[in-house]
Amino acid sequence: MKRWEIVLAIAGAALLALSAWAIKRTELPHQDSVIVTGDCHMPVTIVGTVAKSRPAAILFHGLAADRRIMEPLGD
């Protein structure tokens, strides 16, 4: 293996670790819950904290998506 390939591999691994740390640091708190109404069990994810000074939004997905796909939009 050539020296420049080793240097690029180390730089890539360092950037990957730095990116993972930055994403984890800026992630909003979230809580997974299940709403039960009769026979219907609906999993929901609450993103962020509830504060009266901040507006809230409810996101609905269609048949082609699920809540895991919509979570980055909620963040």
Q: Extract the tokens encoding 47.
A: 């993103």
Please tell me the predicted confidence (pLDDT) of residue 35: 84
DSSP code, position 65: -
Q: What is the pLDDT of residues 14-44, one digit of tens each?
A: 999 998 888 777 767 777 888 888 888 888 8
Confidence of residue 52 (pLDDT cuts 50, 70, 90): low
What's 11-58 look like in SS3? HHHHHHHHHHHHHHHHCCCEEEEEEEECCEEEEEEEECCCCCCCCCCC
- Binning pLDDT at 50, 70 and 90, where does residue 10 land? very high
Retrieve residue 16's tokens.
């990957």
User: What's the predicted TM-score (pTM) here?
Assistant: 0.41
Q: Quote the CA–CA distance of 26 and 21 in Å, as a whole number.
A: 9
